[in-house]
Amino acid sequence: MAYDVFITNAPEDEVLATAAFSSLEKAGIKCWLASKNLVHGKINEAYVEKVIKSAKVMVIIFSTNTNKAAYLAGQLNIATRSNLHIFPLRTGEAE
């Protein structure tokens, strides 16, 4: 279940997250993205935490929508506690 990259995003940023996923996968980098790896509507927080901890890095799609998605703070917290490198992919006027 180990992944190179855990990609996280607000639902409104799904198009960009999917594009990042596809580009990285094409380059041979194994990625995890909720819309690609979870059964729709079946979010298991314990499983997601295991995936984050197994990843080498996290990419967060950072936009004005980020603060609306409360779960992102929890995922960032897990990544920080797990000493993952976190790479923000900033879009638009995100602050």
pLDDT at 85: 96
Could you report the per-residue pLDDT of 9-33, keeping only the tens digit for each?
A: 999 999 999 999 999 999 999 999 9
Cα-Cα end-to-end distance for the chain: 33
- List, for residues 53-85, the tens digit of each pLDDT value: 999 999 999 998 888 888 899 999 999 999 999
CA separation for the pair 21, 68 (Å, rounded): 22
Instruction: Confirm if 61 and 17 have CB atoms less than 8 A apart.
Output: yes
Helix, strand or coil for residue 42? coil
Please return the burial class of 16, using the count of CB atoms within 10 Å of its CB with bins 0-12, 13-18 and 19+.
Answer: middle
Report residue 17 as tokens: 């997250």
| Predicted local distance difference test score (pLDDT) of residue 57 | 97
